[in-house]
Structure 1
Amino acid sequence: MMIKKINFKQFSSIKIGQEVDVLMIEDFDYPKEHYLLGASNNVLIGTNPPPLMMLSKKYDYIKIEDDSLVIGAATPSGKIVSFCKKHDIADFEFVSRLPGTLGGMLKMNAGLKEFEIFNNLGSIITKEGEIKKEQIDYGYRYTDIKDVIFEARFELSSGFSQEKMELFTNMRSNQPRESSAGSCFKNPEGDYAGRLIEAVGLKGKRLGDMEFSSVHANFLVNHGNGRFEDAVELIHLVEEKVKDEFGVHLQREIIIVDKTYM
């Protein structure tokens, strides 16, 4: 098995972490005790991470096969959108605003508003074989998928929409430009995490170089030299304040990858 050294201060979207040995998955034979990473766009790598693994470039591909769109789980979102635009394939325009690889998007059922990666999913491939969408328990930013996803098949329909592309671009125009892991918390039913964070006075709250953005309160941003410890302290502060003042238990979208917090 191949080991790759990855510096997560450079590799992760929030730009926090150190250099770590990561096992690259080449086939169905992988260790269960390792934690699976994608493109590290929604994770916060701690100072004491568990053993890590990720899919190798072997699973970075996209093709049309048997009237289905077949995508390897290591395929980045930008490549998916470019392929769909070139081949006039509909319903993947929203992926242009979702950083990361397909496997990570599937694992958390990523999306924008009513557009979710599971909408047109047919099946996934894991070491257990093909699993139909109907066999998976999924919902808002949630699935019960436990095994590594290697590939997925999607229903194929024509009509790539440039108008939708522009709509999704505008939907993300209010997001901060600093390094972040995307939305820190899921929106509770009937409300918005950003509104709650602002309501408890923590919009713009900063520790060191970490801040709950003054542009969008639900984004934990790194102004350059952010520390893992400051990020975790801010996350816990928001959780406690919102629970105390509103009785709402915010669920994290950001995943803390550290033995102390897992």
Structure 2
Amino acid sequence: MPYKSIDLSKLSSIRIGPVADVYMIEGDDYPDGAYLIGGANNVLFGTDLPPLMKLSKTYDFIRIVDGVLHIGAATPGGKIVSFCKKHDIAHFEFLSHLPGTLGGMLKMNAGLKEYEIFNRLIALRTKSGWHAKAKVPHGYRTTGIDEVVFEATFEIEPGFDPSKIELFKQMRANQPTDPSAGSAFKNPPGDYAGRLIESVGLKGYRIGDMAFSTMHANFLVNLGRGTFEEAVALLELAQQRVQEATGILLEREVIVIDRRWL
């Protein structure tokens, strides 16, 4: 079986996780009940892990076929931006400041402000076949995708704009450089998770080596040797305090992979 031993603390952007045997998907088949991990940029790995799987380099590709952009789900965002710059393709500049691979971006409809990965999507392919964008439920940072995505196609429009890369860089300027899993919580309607967390006194709040960043309260950061237990304690504390103060239950954006949490 194509298993690979992976140190998840090195794979994950928040630098937390044990060493685990991960099933590497080479073809279009994969084990039932396994949890898909990609670039692990919005993931917090626990200590009681379910079976894990990951797309192999087979799905790391990008090409133009009959005027349509075809991208493998294991392709990193930076590689997509470089390709689009070389071929003068517009509307993918925002990926320059989004970590991770295409599959994860599609799963959560990743984006910056109004720029979302679904904006130019034509269709995506899973084990059950090709699915047109209109048939895939999606919204703000969420989708109804419940299968492994292998690849996707996108509309091509000329006009790559390098100045947008600087714009997106400025949009991310208030985000910490410490290891993190990106935004800890989704913004509730009409408000901001960071503002709510700060309003209940948790900006900069620390448990062990985990903390809500002093730069942006909605970023849970690892200040050294942070642990899973410290991270989930902070997530639960923020939800509890914000709900008690405002009645709003913050919805996690970071994905917690642990049998006790899934």
Q: TM-score normalised by the shorter chain: which range applies?
A: over 0.9
Distance in 2, Cα, partners of 1:35 & 1:10:
18
1:114 equivalent in alignment to 2:114: yes
Which residue number corresponds to residue 135 of structure 2? Answer: 135
Which residue number corresponds to residue 11 of structure 2? Answer: 11
Distance in 1, Cα, partners of 2:241 & 2:127:
42
CA RMSD of aligned residues (A): 0.6
CA displacement at 1:219 relative to structure 2:
0.2
User: What is the percent sequence identity of the aligned residues?
Assistant: 61
Q: Counterpart amino acid of 1:70?
A: H
TM normalised by structure 2 equals 0.99
Q: What 5-or-longer segments of structure 2 have no aligned partner?
A: none
CA displacement at 1:81 relative to structure 2:
0.4
SS in 1 for 2:134: helix
**Equivalences for residues 116-195 of structure 1 within 5 A:** 116-195=116-195
1:90 equivalent in alignment to 2:90: yes
Which residue number corresponds to residue 47 of structure 1? Answer: 47
Q: What 5-or-longer segments of structure 1 have no aligned partner?
A: none
Which residue number corresponds to residue 256 of structure 1? Answer: 256
Query: How many equivalent pairs are there?
Result: 262
Query: Cα deviation per residue 1:227-250 (whole Å; 9 max; x = unaligned)?
Result: 100000000000000011000011
Distance in 1, Cα, partners of 2:158 & 2:105:
22
Which residue number corresponds to residue 216 of structure 1? Answer: 216
1:235 equivalent in alignment to 2:232: no
Which residue number corresponds to residue 206 of structure 1? Answer: 206
SS in 1 for 2:95: helix
CA displacement at 1:162 relative to structure 2:
1.0
CA displacement at 1:11 relative to structure 2:
1.3
1:58 equivalent in alignment to 2:67: no
Distance in 2, Cα, partners of 1:171 & 1:32:
39
CA displacement at 1:38 relative to structure 2:
0.7
Distance in 2, Cα, partners of 1:173 & 1:143:
27
Distance in 1, Cα, partners of 2:55 & 2:217:
33
Distance in 2, Cα, partners of 1:83 & 1:29:
28
Distance in 2, Cα, partners of 1:93 & 1:203:
31
Distance in 2, Cα, partners of 1:6 & 1:223:
22
CA displacement at 1:55 relative to structure 2:
0.3
Distance in 2, Cα, partners of 1:172 & 1:210:
21
TM normalised by structure 1 equals 0.99
Deviation beyond 3 Å, 4+ runs, structure 1: none
SS in 2 for 1:70: strand
Q: Counterpart amino acid of 1:53?
A: M
Distance in 2, Cα, partners of 1:68 & 1:77:
18
